[in-house]
Amino acid sequence: MSERITAHQLYQPTLYPARAHQKHVNQNSFKSLFDKELDSTLTISKHAKKRLEDRNIEITDASWNKIGEKIKEAGRKGVKDSLVILKDVTLVVNAPNQTVITALGRNESASQIFTNINGAIVMDD
């Protein structure tokens, strides 16, 4: 027999079991995100990498770490492009992307004009 609806009867749809609403819980805790951010390193653009190689400029890992820390600090203060001056090298670094844009030897940068820079970091390393 088929179910028929008459004028004096209300339609009663078939009830399906309610689905449990699944919330997507982000498994990354604040600590893991914070640690990841601290561990992130500077990216060196192709151009900067080539200039460092062409000029035989070597920067130690410790110096890169210090530069990275200073760039993060500069970024928190609103700096976008920073001039990083070290003893033997000058770098132009984009703080929001943490990317080294270009590199010059210190003697080469002594007579240069740098534009579109809104922050400078001077380091003795």
Give residue 119's pLDDT.
Answer: 95
Question: Do the domain assignments include residue 34?
Answer: no
Give residue 76's pLDDT.
Answer: 94
Question: Do the domain assignments include residue 100?
Answer: yes
Give residue 16's pLDDT.
Answer: 72
Where are the extended beta strands (E) located within the chain? 43-44, 81-85, 89-94, 99-105, 119-122
Question: Do the domain assignments include residue 70?
Answer: yes
Give residue 39's pLDDT.
Answer: 56
Question: Do the domain assignments include residue 92?
Answer: yes
Question: Do the domain assignments include residue 49?
Answer: yes
**Contact by Cβ (8 Å): 95, 125:** no
* pLDDT profile of the chain (125 residues), mean per 10: 63 68 61 61 92 93 93 95 95 95 91 93 88
Give residue 14's pLDDT.
Answer: 72
Question: Do the domain assignments include residue 27?
Answer: no
Question: Do the domain assignments include residue 35?
Answer: no
Give me the domain span that covers residue 76: 42-122
Question: Do the domain assignments include residue 48?
Answer: yes
If DSSP codes are grouped into helix, strand and coil, which group holds residue 11?
coil
C-alpha to C-alpha distance for 54 and 26, rounded to whole angstroms: 45
The total domain count for the chain is 1
